[in-house]
Amino acid sequence: MSRSKVTLFELRSGAIDAVHLVVKTPDFAALAEALQQRFDAAPEFFAGEAVAIDLRRLADDAALPLDELAALLRRLRMRPFGVVAQAAQQVWAGASDLPLLDSRDVGRDPRKPADPAEAASAPATTPADESPRAEPQAAATSSIAAATPAARQPALATLPTVLIDRPLRSGQRVYSPGDLIVQGVVSFGAEVMAEGHVHIYGALRGRALAGARGNTTARIYCTSFEPELVAIAGIYRTAEQDLPAGVRGQPAIVRLQGEQLLIEPLALK
């Protein structure tokens, strides 16, 4: 009797959702300081996350000590697994211990600003101590960007909305592939995440993440804004950063403008 040989493994190509660390300066010392400060503010938020180091905002002749950057990310409890680079950057980027990756999140040229308004105000070069551009009621945001662009997402109208009709306690987490509605308090230490919009009819004291797979049009609405952290499409802001006037403890809306979070009062009348 013949026995068919059993295949014990397969090697296949595939796509993996991962966080991109979009590097905007070749100054490693300044970058390391900024990363340490940002992750000190929210040490658990990206703990254990797989991270691709995205170099495409840098000039072709720029260079970074990628192995040192990877070591820093590991100390910050992240897991760097590869480098995304332009063709001209691959000579020096490929010399590190991290493999080169082919990222398919190319909805636009990654070196160009996200919208015309940003393009009009963007400097010709990026300074090492880059800070967010000044805009009315704008909050400082991170340089961590979601890997999957909004252009590749299914229409949110076809995805289910998750309704939570109770308060969420510390440690509880809720995820929705579409919109998410919470009728109650999101307590400190609780987390809500949606690929679409997040609506909270109560106090937001924990973490709220909208546009979880790169949907930059997603928004966060809540009736009492007191968050530990908010994020849209990977651009986030922590409680350690000052809030715009008139939003703490009040109805508020969070949205993206270019690569910056805007937090504004929400009129309920």
Q: Are 25 and 35 in contact, with CB atoms under 8 Å apart? A: no
The reply to whether 195 falls in a domain is yes
Interior angle at CA 236, CA 233 and CA 239, nearest 5: 150
Instruction: Give the predicted TM-score (pTM) of the model.
Output: 0.53
- The answer to the question of residue 176 being in a domain is yes
Instruction: List, in sequence order, every beta strand (DSSP E) within the chain.
Output: 19-22, 50-54, 79-84, 100-101, 138-139, 144-146, 162-164, 173-176, 180-182, 191-194, 198-204, 207-210, 220-225, 229-232, 235-238, 252-257, 260-265
Model confidence band, residue 157 (pLDDT cutoffs 50, 70, 90) = low
Question: Per-residue pLDDT tens for 187-222?
Answer: 998 999 999 999 999 999 999 999 988 899 999 999
- Identify the residue with better confidence: 111 or 192: 192
Q: Tell whether 207 is covered by a domain.
A: yes
* 21 within some domain: yes
Domain carrying residue 46: 17-104
Measure the CA–CA gap between 113 and 136, rounded to whole angstroms: 19
Domain membership flag for residue 126: no
Backbone φ and ψ for 41, nearest 5 degrees, come out as: -70, -30
Q: Do 163 and 86 share a structural domain?
A: no
Residue 27: give its domain's CATH number: 3.30.70.260
What mean pLDDT is predicted for residues 136-158? 41
Question: Is the pLDDT confidence value at 225 over 60?
Answer: yes
